[in-house]
């Protein structure tokens, strides 16, 4: 199938399963990720597909998301059980593969890790993670101008800025952070020190 056909098909599918705000967000992520992919020399097609599907499980009940993970043998951690808004990333990966027919491991992994990140991410994973944060419909957060510029320059530095703000935000609202978010931040902090001193 041609990229334009895949794009039309997934857009229709997402309109059926997402509410209006989430659908707008999804379009923003897909187009932002596609543009970032072009700048950073990776597959625009993969970025677009991952962007369209990254939140495909988001508007399902948490119980339903847990059932989907169980069905496909994906474990839910204790922190995810305590903070079920984290589970849509894993459930989304399952649906992308088994309902929407994605067999590309790189795309599935970008969906899987779009909420917490992980140390040593691929460019596609970083792009979906970052596009999720900077897409134009997002509320204008602190540092957004700088983060949006960095998204088209240095992916690792952009990851660092976003993870720092996310961890600070979670602390401010007294929510526990996923150890994976912490590890990812530590990883990109260290990488920045090695690279930039």
When asked if residue 97 is in the footprint of Fe ion (CB under 5 A), the reply is no
The length of the chain in residues reads 197
Contacts of 81 (CB under 8 A, 6+ apart): none
Instruction: State the residue for tokens 């895949």.
Output: 6
When asked if residue 177 is in the footprint of ligand DGI (CB under 6 A), the reply is yes
When asked if residue 112 is in the footprint of ligand DGI (CB under 6 A), the reply is no
* Angle, CA 186 vertex, CA 119 and CA 182 arms, to 5°: 80
Question: Which of 83, 104, 164, 165 is close enough to bind ligand DGI by CB under 6 A?
Answer: 83
Question: Which of 33, 34, 55, 188 is close enough to bind Fe ion by CB under 5 A?
Answer: 55
When asked if residue 132 is in the footprint of Fe ion (CB under 5 A), the reply is yes
Contacts of 147 (CB under 8 A, 6+ apart): 130, 133, 134, 158, 161, 162, 165
When asked if residue 171 is in the footprint of ligand DGI (CB under 6 A), the reply is no
When asked if residue 175 is in the footprint of ligand DGI (CB under 6 A), the reply is yes
Binding site for ligand DGI (CB under 6 A): 25, 55, 58, 83, 85-86, 114-116, 132, 166, 170, 175-178, 181
């Amino acid at each position: 199938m041609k990229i334009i056909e895949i794009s039309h098909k997934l857009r229709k599918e997402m309109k059926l399963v997402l509410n209006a705000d989430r659908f707008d967000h999804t379009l923003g992520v897909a187009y932002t990720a596609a543009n970032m992919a072009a700048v950073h020399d990776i597959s625009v097609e993969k970025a677009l597909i991952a962007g369209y599907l990254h939140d495909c499980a988001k508007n399902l009940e948490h119980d339903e998301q847990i059932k989907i993970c169980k069905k496909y043998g994906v474990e839910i951690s204790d922190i995810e059980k305590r903070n079920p808004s984290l589970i849509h990333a894993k459930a989304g990966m399952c649906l992308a593969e088994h309902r929407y027919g994605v067999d590309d491991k790189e795309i599935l992994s970008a969906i899987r890790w779009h909420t917490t990140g992980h140390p040593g991410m691929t460019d596609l994973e970083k792009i979906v993670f970052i596009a999720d944060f900077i897409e134009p419909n997002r509320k204008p957060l602190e540092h957004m101008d700088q983060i949006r510029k960095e998204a088209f320059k240095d992916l690792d530095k952009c990851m660092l800025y976003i993870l720092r703000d996310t961890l600070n935000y979670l602390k401010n609202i007294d929510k526990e952070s996923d150890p994976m978010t912490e590890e990812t931040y530590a990883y990109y902090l260290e990488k920045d020190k090695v690279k930039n001193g």
